[in-house]
A and B are shown apart, each in its own frame.
Chain A
Amino acid sequence: MSDRKTVMSVNGTEMFSPPSNILIPTRDEGKKPVLDVRGLGIDFGGLRAVDEFTITVSPTEISGLIGPNGAGKTTVFNLLTNVYKPTRGAILLDGHPTAGKSVAQVNRMGIARTFQNIRLFDQMTVLDNVRVGMSNNTRCNFAESFLRLPGYFKAEKRSRERALELLSIFNMESEAYTLAGNLPYGAQRRLEIIRALATEPKVLLLDEPAAGMNPSETHALMESIRQIRDQFGIAIVLIEHDMNLVMGVCEGIAVLNFGKVIAKGTPDQIKNNEAVIEAYLGRQEKKEA
C-alpha cells in the first residue's frame, strides 16, 4: 500500500470536533476534501441514532461505511442528503454547508445517491430513468417544451445521447427502451447508479450496491466502481455488507456501531482492528454460560 499515506486533513476552524485523520490517496494530497462532515448527530426521540459522526472524503476517494445491522449507516446517508435534518453537527460540500437545503437542492449541489431498497421509476423506460437524473443539466424551459421550439429538440437529442453514453458504462444500451420495472434485480441496481451519475455529482453515495448480486456480478461491479471514479473523477462513499467488495475497492473505511464511529483506516487496519472484530463477532473472553 505504498500509494497511500496518512495525512492530517487541514481544516480552518476548530469549532466542531477536530477533523479526523483519515487516509487520503496520494493523488488527492494537498486538495481540500470534497465532503467534510463534522460531529454529525441525530436523535429520534430519546434514541441517539447517529452521534459524533466525523469524516472527510477527498475528491477522488472511494471510501466505505460498514457496520453491523442497525448501526446507523443508512441514517448517515439520509443525513448527508438532507432527508433527515441533523440534530448536531455540520456537513460541508466543497466548503459550502448543506444545512437548510432541500433534498433536491443538495442533489444539485453535488451529492447523489442510490437506495438500499431500489427506487426506480418503474413505469418509465430505462432511458427515461437516466434522463430524469439529467433534468437539472438539461436546458429546456416550459415554453420550449409546450411548443416544441428548436431548443426542445436540441435538449432532447443531447439528453438521449448522453443517457445512452452513461448506460454504456454498464453495457445497458440494449435495454434502453425496456420499462425499468421489468429489469432483473442486478440491472435495476446498476440503473440506479447510472441515474445517480446522470445528476453529475461530486460525491456519489451507494447504499448496498452489491445486495442481491452473485459473486461474478459483484466482481464486475467493483471494476465499474473504479471505472466510474477514474472516468468521472468523483468521490464515492459506499455502504456494503459484502466484505470482498469493501476490502477490494475502498481506500478508506469507517466502521459504525450504535451510531458511533468505532474505527477508521485502510482495509488492512480495519481487518485487524479489535473494536471492529468485537462489534461484528462479539468479545471472546466474556463467554458466560
Chain B
Amino acid sequence: MKKFLSKINRRDALTLLVLVGIFAFFFIMLQTGAASHQFKNMIIPMTYYILLAISLNLMVGVLGELSLGHAGFMSVGAYTGCFLSVMLVEHFPDLPMFVYLPVAMLCGGLMAALFGVIIGIPALRVKGDYLAIVTLAFCEIIKTVIINLDFLGGAIGFDTDKIVPDRNKALTLLPYAAFAVIVSAILIMNLVRSKHGRAIMAVRDNRIAAEACGINVNFYKVAVFGIAAFFAGVAGVLYGHNDVLLKSSTFDFNMSIEILIMVVLGGMGSNMLGSVIAAVVMTALPEILRDFSDYRMLIYSVMLIVIMLFTSAPALAGIRERLSLNFIKDAVTKRIAAAKAKKANKTKEEQK
C-alpha cells in the first residue's frame, strides 16, 4: 500500500479521494432516500460538470490555451452518443443499459475528439484571445448545423425519451457517471504527471524554450484539443441520457463560459481538485438559491464576484493566508522536500 501511494502524486490522491467521497455521499443519499427531489435532479449534472471542468482545465490550465468551445465538443458527444443509443435501443429493445451507455460514451467521446482535432489544427495559427474567439465561433457553428439536421430533431430537439431511465433516474445513472468521471480523472491526472504532461506544461510556460528542447509544440496542442474534447464528449453523452430532450441551443456559449468559470474559480493548473469542487459548488448554487426566486441570478452573480475577489484579489492576500491554514501546508511541503532531498543525497552517495 505504501509503495502504491509513493507512486502517485499526493495531490492526485487527494483529488481521487474527494471524488470517491462525493460519489459515495450521493449514493448513500439516494439509497437511503434522504435526498430531496431537488437534490436528486442535481446529482447527474454535478457529475458531468465535474468531467467538463477537469477536461477544460487540461486545456486552459495545463496547456494554457483559452477555449470557449467546450460546450460545442460536449454537444457533438451528446448527439453522437444519444443517436447511437436510440438506434441501439430501437433495434434491440431488450438491450440493457450497461451495454449501450458505455458504447455511446466511447463513441460520443471519439467523435468529439475527432472534432477537437479538426478544430485544433486551424487553431494552431492563433492564440490567446483570438483562439477563444475561434473556439467560440466553432461552438456556434456546431449549434447551427445541428439545428438544421432533421435526423437530429432540428429545432424541436432530439427525443431521448427511450434511453433515459424511467424510474430512479439518478440512482440508475450514478454508477455509470461515477465510473466515467473517476476513470477520466485518473487518465487525465496520469497524463499530466507523465513525460507528455510535462511537455504540455512546458508549452504553456514557454513555447519558444519548449521548441528549443525538441518538443513538437503543434503536436501537443492538437493532442490536448483532442483529449479534452473526448472527455467533454463523454460528459455530453451523460447529459443526453439524463435529459429527455436534447436541444442544441442548450450548448451555447453561456454553457462554455459556465465551465470556464468553474475552472478559473477552482484554480487553473495541474491540480484538478479545485475544478472538481468548483464544479460541484457552481452546479449546486443556482439550485440552492431558488428560494430567493426573483433575486436568484442577482445573488448568484454577486457571490461569483465575491468568491473571485476573495480567491484572487492581491489586496486580500493577507486574509487568504490567515484563513487558508497555509502554514500547515508549508510545513508539510517543507518536510516532503527535505525528505526528497535527503533521499536524493542518499542515492547519490550510494552511487559513489
On A, residues with C-beta under 8 Å from B are 81, 83, 102-105, 107-108, 112-113, 115, 119-124, 128, 131-133, 135-136, 138, 140, 142, 144-148, 152-153, 155-156, 159, 161, 164, 168, 173-174, 176-178, 195-196, 198-199
Contacts and interface: CB of A to CB of B under 8 A. Distances in A.
Interface stretch (B18-26, B30-38, B153-161, B191-199): B191-199
Nearest to A160: B344
Interface in B215-250: 215-217, 223
Interface stretch (B107-115, B206-214, B257-265, B321-329): B206-214
10 contacts: A123-B201, A131-B198, A132-B202, A135-B213, A145-B191, A146-B187, A146-B191, A155-B195, A159-B195, A173-B345
Contacts of A136: 214-215
Interface residues of B, number: 35
A199 B206 contact: no
B341 interface: yes
Contacts of B304: none
B337 interface: yes
Contacts of B187: 146-147
**Interface SS majority for chain B:** helix
B119 to A, nearest CB: 20
Q: Which of A108, A121, A195, A198 has the most CB of B within 10 A?
A: A121
A127 to B, nearest CB: 9
A147 B187 CA distance: 7
B201 A177 contact: no
A113 B208 CA distance: 11
A119 B341 contact: no
Q: Which of B206, B212, B214, B215 has the most CB of A within 10 A?
A: B214
Given A113-B212, A164-B347, A178-B337, 5 more contacts: A123-B201, A132-B215, A142-B223, A152-B194, A176-B340
A223 B94 CA distance: 77
B195 A145 contact: yes
B287 interface: no
A146 B213 contact: no
Contacts of A120: 205-206, 209
B214 A121 contact: no
A102 B219 CA distance: 13
Interface in B327-352: 336-337, 340-341, 344-345, 347-348
Contact of A124 (B195, B202, B216, B223): B202
Contacts of B223: 142
A119 B209 contact: yes
Interface string B146-179: 0000000000000000000000000000000000
B120 interface: no
Contacts of A131: 195, 198
A262 B249 CA distance: 68
Contacts of B337: 177-178
Contacts of A107: 211-214
B77 interface: no
A148 B190 contact: yes
Contact of A119 (B206, B216, B336): B206
